[in-house]
Structure 1
Amino acid sequence: MRSSEPVRPFESPELEFEAALELELPRMRALLRRHGEAPSSSPPPLLVLGGRAPDPDWLRKVSLGRETWALDRGADACRAAGVVPSRILGDFDSVSDGAREWAERMGAKTDRYTPDKDDTDFQLALRLLSGDVVVTGCWGGRFDHAFSNVFSSLWAMERGVRVLWFADEREVLFPLRGPAKLELDFEIPPSALSLLSLTASCERVSIENVKWPLDEADLAQGSPREISNVPLGRPVRVEVRSGVLGVYGECR
């Protein structure tokens, strides 16, 4: 991930960004600035999907103050962490009977769908939401599930639902829709930091405080080279002017 161009100051005088939206994660702090989008006054709801279960302590911390929805086997992760979801949703083909019954006893609203459906459980949830949302339980499983989740978030953007992050204690992905800026401050620097063009192209991408900085580079989805960068300072700053840029970190 190299650029021979000098890096200019991380400023965008021709664009006005709204006040920063603080995205707090255990051992990580992110500030998001979006053009023309004011931050919400309340914490975005948390969706717990049925992939790799997040560490119970991590899930307890990230769920504080948030409405939590458990999607199918995500109810098992919630039960293990003692996080009571307000809603459980899905076709329930993978959740344990014990976790489903526990959530219902604790007062969770239940939305049960037939397994013979067109939408995934995640897509069903996105149809019921609006505004910002955060997602966990999304890593560590099949590639096709991860692919569907990430690109379903792009589909949801067109409907006014914005996934701010997909994360657990090991991995995080911020889908950053331009024009936007992201500032990352890690308690422990990630072992890898990558930029992924989630749309056909991302224009005028910059990143600083890394080993291989970029200054207003255009990235192509079909030529993903900006992989495994190394943070050098704090904070790491990323900007994209157009397109949807995936900012991925592997956390130690």
Structure 2
Amino acid sequence: MIINILAAGPEQYIPKLDSYHSDEGQWIGVDKGTVTLLSKGIQPIMAFGDFDSVSEDEMKQIESGVSKLNRFKPEKDETDMELALNWALEQNPQLIRVFGGTGGRLDHFFANVQLLVQPLLREVPVPIEMIDEKNIIYIKNPGEYHIHKRDSFNYISFIPMTMAVENLTLIGFKYPLSDKHIPFGSTLCISNELLDDNGTFSFTEGILMVVRSKD
């Protein structure tokens, strides 16, 4: 099972959702993202949020279009996205995809990126991808990983999420590395490319963010 979450980010950053719509995927709306799903003919199984960004008419659409509505007070400890993501992780899906999590307010964007780290810290083995029109973002713990070409997402960047990533090795890349120490704040691993259809990356310590981008 794949769980797709659509948040309330600006629509110009959201890719064509029908490319990700399939029988094996379930959709969750977060706040005004629920309205966007309904407008595109996608039926969410559930919605989360305080819904303070929707109009009265939009709220009526949500109430009539979504059978399981989780509504919260605006004054709460978790963001709407965090509430939805926590529920999704409890379902133990094979993949969670987050849309509408980029663009707009930078505080929301940085908070959403930090949420991608939480499953690793909690040792929950569910991969999460944050996807927008030009980028795919995900987070990895130490290990060795295969990476494959994806249509249009030619550029691959590796960004430390901890004080350092140790022994980063890139094989099959235009700019290879071998057992390299990458400190937090380094731009050494920005905008790399695969030489062929496949490559590998590995590291022994730290947490690494992988960003795949279109030009």
Instruction: Please state which band the TM-score falls in when normalised by the shorter chain.
Output: 0.7 to 0.9
**Structure 1 stretches lacking a partner, 5+ long:** 1-42
Which amino acid is the alignment partner of residue 44 of structure 1?
I
Q: What residue in structure 1 maps to residue 65 of structure 2?
A: 106
Question: Of 40, 45, 63, which aligns to 1:86?
Answer: 45
**Structure 2 stretches lacking a partner, 5+ long:** none
Question: Of 1, 4, 8, which aligns to 1:50?
Answer: 8
Q: Could you tell me how far apart the structure 2 residues matched to 1:243 and 1:195 are?
A: 12
Q: What residue in structure 2 maps to residue 172 of structure 1?
A: 136
* Aligned structure 1 segments of 4 or more residues deviating by more than 6 angstroms: 54-57
- Please provide the CA RMSD for this pair: 2.4
Q: Could you tell me how far apart the structure 2 residues matched to 1:161 and 1:79 are?
A: 30
Q: What residue in structure 2 maps to residue 185 of structure 1?
A: 149
Which amino acid is the alignment partner of residue 95 of structure 1?
V
Structure that is richer in helix per residue: 2
Q: What residue in structure 2 maps to residue 135 of structure 1?
A: 98
Worse overlay, 62-71 or 235-244: 235-244
1:139-158 aligned at under 5 Å gives the runs: 139-158=102-121
Q: Could you tell me how far apart the structure 2 residues matched to 1:144 and 1:200 are?
A: 21
Per the normalisation by structure 2, the TM-score is: 0.84
Q: Percent identity?
A: 25
Q: What residue in structure 2 maps to residue 202 of structure 1?
A: 165
| 3-state SS of paired residue (2:2) | coil
Shift of 1:248: 0.4
Per the normalisation by structure 1, the TM-score is: 0.73
Question: Of 46, 70, 74, which aligns to 2:29?
Answer: 70
Q: Is the aligned partner of 1:234 residue 2:192?
A: no
Q: Is the aligned partner of 1:222 residue 2:185?
A: yes
Q: Could you tell me how far apart the structure 1 residues matched to 2:20 and 2:63 are?
A: 22
Shift of 1:211: 2.1
Q: What residue in structure 1 maps to residue 80 of structure 2?
A: 121
